[in-house]
């Protein structure tokens, strides 16, 4: 890794982050590291982090490398030394914070999914378009676009290496909700999270499908299911869910989001897509897998082997043809000219470093970042269409024996 000191006279941009839990820690890693790896046009400064609990957010600031702590996101936005607002909060606050930050003249990075509803996402995209005319940028944090192997897959599709796209298959499998006694956290409440596995995991694979295919999903047919419909209450959800009393006197609340979503889609080109997102795949911790089949070849990727891309060239003789492994660690592969020698792989955390790099370049050059808020709105519309389709398909038609 190339260690560099800040260049004299390089313009600094203060970053203010709202939220400091899992995603906040991941984003902090990206902001801390990006200037020590890439030759940047501007220098990010970790100015302030914000959270509601004063003691906890001050401890997080010390642990994650932020210079100051705030307990009100409005105060964070109002700071003159904050130029970029990074939103790492639950989805129910994305729209309010992002719109306010853009109105205050800040650049914005917002975690996925963009919002909890299409209406909120439309308002955010409109605010981003108005801000764009003033020279601001707004980007959604779909970090898996920044896995070098997936960026290489996009390049190969765009270059026509697999020909006309026929099929896209994507699954995102986790198992952290299999235990029915896992508590009712905010991610299991529709008013906080918007949806369950659909928004948490499905948003990623919808974005990847559209990114890799280079076109937007035009229609879907879907099923969703909630396998465990009540869970033990925790302090953060007891009041919000109006806890129910179950047998034995334990307080439980209703799960109001999906546990799993399965849906098919079609692209305008005629290519077909299948999607599966679940938090009930026993034994799967973070299994994101995809395959693209085209008229001239195929590509396959598994996040558990994230430095590899599988490629089949259908033009090779059948006697020796097959999928071959591309080890994505060469300096001419996306992002990798700044990292280690060939053969030395990267990990999950590096996607957030690449995300910060891309946002800073967009700000410095005045170009539209990708994925933009308009891209996030496109994903939100697909998620809403999935929910609508699943509601219509919720009544089963028995097949005669």
Asked if residue 284 and residue 163 are part of one domain, the reply reads: yes
Tens digit of each residue's pLDDT, the chain (401 residues): 333 344 557 899 999 999 999 999 999 999 999 999 999 999 999 999 999 999 999 999 999 999 999 999 999 999 999 999 999 999 999 999 999 999 999 999 999 999 999 999 999 999 999 999 999 999 999 999 999 999 999 999 999 999 999 999 999 999 999 999 999 999 999 999 999 999 999 999 999 999 999 999 999 999 999 999 999 998 754 444 333 333 444 799 999 999 999 999 999 999 999 999 999 999 999 999 999 999 999 999 999 999 999 999 999 999 999 999 999 999 999 999 999 999 999 999 999 999 999 999 999 999 999 999 999 999 999 999 999 999 999 877 787 87
Position 180 in a domain? yes
Q: How far apart are CA 16 and CA 31, in angstroms?
A: 11
Total residue length of the chain: 401
In a domain, 359, yes or no: no
**129 and 177 both lie in a single domain:** no
Report the CATH number at residue 82. Answer: 3.40.50.720
270 lies in some domain: yes
Give the ranges where 214-332 is alpha helix by DSSP (H): 235-241
DSSP 184: B
The verdict on 184 and 54 lying in the same domain is no
Closest CA to 383 of 194, 212, 239: 194
Sheet holding 84-87, edge to edge: 68-70, 43-50, 12-18, 84-87, 107-111, 138-141
Task: Give the pairing type, strands 138-141 and 107-111.
Answer: parallel
Residues 187 and 322 in one domain: yes
Distances 236 to 69, 81, 224, 249, 363 between C-alpha atoms, Å: 22, 32, 26, 19, 37
Q: Is residue 351 part of a domain?
A: no
Same domain, 71 and 165: no
Domain membership flag for residue 353: no
**Residue that is written with structure tokens 């179950």 in the block:** 246
User: Are 169 and 290 in contact, with CB atoms under 8 Å apart?
Assistant: yes
260-266 and 219-225 strand pairing: antiparallel
Domain boundary among 98, 113, 143: 143
Domain count, the chain: 2
pTM value is: 0.93
State the residue range of the domain holding 256. Answer: 148-305+307-346
Spatial separation of the C-alpha atoms in residues 71 and 82, rounded to whole Å:
15
């Amino acid at each position: 890794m190339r260690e560099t000191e800040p260049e004299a006279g390089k313009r600094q941009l203060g970053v203010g982050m709202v939220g400091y839990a899992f995603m906040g820690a991941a984003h902090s890693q990206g902001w801390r590291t990006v200037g020590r790896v890439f030759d940047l046009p501007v220098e990010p400064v970790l100015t302030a982090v914000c959270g509601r609990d004063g003691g906890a957010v001050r401890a997080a600031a010390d642990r994650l490398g932020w210079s100051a702590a705030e307990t009100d996101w409005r105060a964070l936005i109002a700071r003159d030394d904050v130029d970029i607002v990074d939103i790492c909060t639950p989805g129910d606050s994305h729209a309010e914070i992002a719109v306010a930050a853009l109105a205050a003249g800040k650049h914005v990075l917002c975690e996925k999914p963009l919002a909890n509803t299409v209406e909120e996402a439309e308002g955010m995209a409109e605010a981003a378009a108005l801000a764009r005319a003033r020279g601001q940028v707004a980007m959604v944090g779909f970090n898996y676009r920044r896995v070098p192997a997936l960026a290489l897959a996009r390049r190969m599709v765009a270059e026509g290496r697999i020909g006309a796209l026929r099929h896209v298959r994507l699954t995102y499998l986790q198992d952290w909700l299999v235990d029915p006694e896992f508590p009712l956290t905010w991610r299991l409440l529709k008013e906080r999270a918007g949806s369950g596995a659909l928004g948490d995991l499905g948003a990623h694979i919808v974005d990847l499908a559209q990114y890799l295919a280079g076109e937007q999903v035009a229609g879907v047919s879907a099923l969703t299911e909630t396998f465990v419909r009540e869970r033990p209450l925790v302090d953060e959800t007891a009041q919000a869910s109006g806890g129910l009393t179950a047998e034995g006197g334990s307080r439980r609340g209703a799960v109001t989001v999906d546990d799993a979503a399965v849906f098919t889609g079609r692209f305008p080109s005629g290519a077909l897509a299948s999607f599966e997102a679940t938090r009930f795949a026993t034994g799967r911790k973070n299994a994101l897998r995809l395959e693209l089949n085209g008229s001239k070849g195929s590509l396959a990727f598994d996040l558990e082997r994230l430095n590899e891309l599988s490629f089949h060239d259908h033009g090779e003789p059948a006697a020796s043809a097959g999928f071959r492994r591309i080890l994505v660690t060469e300096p001419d592969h996306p992002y990798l000219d700044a990292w280690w020698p060939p053969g030395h792989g990267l990990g999950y955390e590096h996607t957030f470093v690449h995300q910060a790099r891309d946002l800073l370049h967009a700000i410095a050059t005045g170009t539209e970042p990708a994925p933009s808020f308009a891209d996030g709105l496109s994903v939100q519309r697909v998620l809403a269409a999935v929910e609508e389709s699943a509601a219509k398909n919720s009544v089963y038609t028995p097949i005669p024996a």
